[in-house]
Amino acid sequence: MLKLHNLSRSYQTDNIETMALDNVNIEIKKGEFVAIMGPSGCGKSTLLNTIGMLDNPSAGDYIFAGENVAGYSEKQLSEIRKKSIGFIFQNFNLIDELTVQENIELALIYHKIPAAERKQRVEKVMDKVGIAHRAKHLPNQLSGGQQQRVAVARAVVGDQPMILADEPTGNLDSAHGQEVMEMLQQLNAEGTTIVMVTHSPAHADYARRTIHLFDGHVVNENVRAA
């Protein structure tokens, strides 16, 4: 699915260069469920954003579906991203002014999918994550768990082959956290590649493989026996 080769990302602030990622080499295969762990500031999010093409590497190669996208323009990246990647965030990132249904539909609108089909797909995915009864509610009328379910629905409604989840359970209590993890596991079982950043070893256990980052380096990789 994707391969990072000698990939680095540095930030320049006030003459101080910070290496967020330093010579990272990772390969993720189609259908994998990968967890990324590490202390605050180790580069987890930078890695996830780079994989999600929301951030550009400073050096190295990023091969996505056979193409080296490292030097691609914002517009090209946006096209690939739209087709291939869904996102889930710690703070849900739902639009406050839109209802549950509209939030989920948003992803499809930008995919230029006709209205009738959009409606059908949104309804289907709402059933799947069990949020259909809240379709007309605004995000601030929902609990955290419900909001994250909406976010999951939004991430999968476009049928992208890969989902990137940035601490999806970080703002949830353990019951709701587990609920979300089970949903991700289910998606993975259906064939979606999942890359997830997490602080929770328990939730990392849902993944087949765990990558440990420290100061921008990959320090350890565990593969759980199936």
Partner 1 sequence: MFRNYLITAWRNIIKNGIFSVINIFGLAVGLMSCILIMLFVRQEIGFDSWLTDSDRLVRMHTSYSMPNRDKFETVRSAGSMMPAIRDYAKNEVETGVRFIQFGITVRKGEDAFAEQATMVDSSFFSLFDLPFVQGSKTSSFNKPMDLIITERLALKYFGRTDVIGETLTICCVSDNTSEVAITGVIKNLPDETHLNTEMIVRLQPLLFSEDDGTLHTWTSLNVYTYFKLKPNVTMEQFQQRIDYWMDNESPLRDMFDNNETVTDFVQQRLMPVPDLHLNAKQHAGNMGDLTPMGDSNMIRTFIVVAGLVLLIACINFMNLSTAKASKRAREVAMRKVLGASRTQVALQFLGEAIAIVILSLMFALVAVEIVLPLYNELLGKTLELRLFSDPALLLSLLLVAILVGLGAGMYPAFYLSKFLPGQILKSTKSVESKSSTKMRSLLVVFQFSISIILVISTLVVYGQTVFSNNINVGYQSDNKLVLNVRPARENLASLKQELLSLPEISSVVYSSEAPTQDDENNNYFKLLETHSDGTANEQVLLNYHNMDFGFFEAYKVTPIAGRLFDENYGSDEINLVPENSSEPGKGSVILNETALKELGFTSAEQAIGKTLAHEVRGKQHLTIVGVIPDIYFRSIKFDVRPTAYTLNPTRLRAASLTFSTDDISSLLNKIELIWKRNVPMQPIELEFLSEMMKAQYNDEVTTAQLFLVFSLLAVVIACLGLYGLSAFTVERRTKEIGIRKVMGASVRDIVSLLIWQFSKPVAIANILAWPIAAYAMLSWLESFPYRLSELWLIPICLGVGLLSLIIAWSTVGGNAAKVARKNPIKALRYE
- Could you list the residues that contact partner 1 (CB under 8 A)? 45, 49, 54-55, 74-75, 78, 81-82, 87, 89, 91, 93-97, 106-107, 110-111, 154, 158
Residues 6+ apart with CB under 8 A from 208: 32, 33, 34, 223, 224, 226
- Shortest Å, Cβ 2 to partner 1: 18
d(CA 196, CA 88): 9
d(CA 57, CA 60): 7
- Shortest Å, Cβ 12 to partner 1: 15
Q: Which CB atom, from 44 or from 176, has the smaller least distance to partner 1? A: 44
- Shortest Å, Cβ 154 to partner 1: 7
Q: Which CB atom, from 5 or from 82, has the smaller least distance to partner 1? A: 82
DSSP 3-state of 203 = helix
Task: Give the side-chain half-sphere CA count within 13 A for 109.
Answer: 6
- Shortest Å, Cβ 208 to partner 1: 26
Residue holding tokens 């869904």?
86
Q: Which CB atom, from 24 or from 108, has the smaller least distance to partner 1? A: 108
Q: Which CB atom, from 107 or from 194, has the smaller least distance to partner 1? A: 107
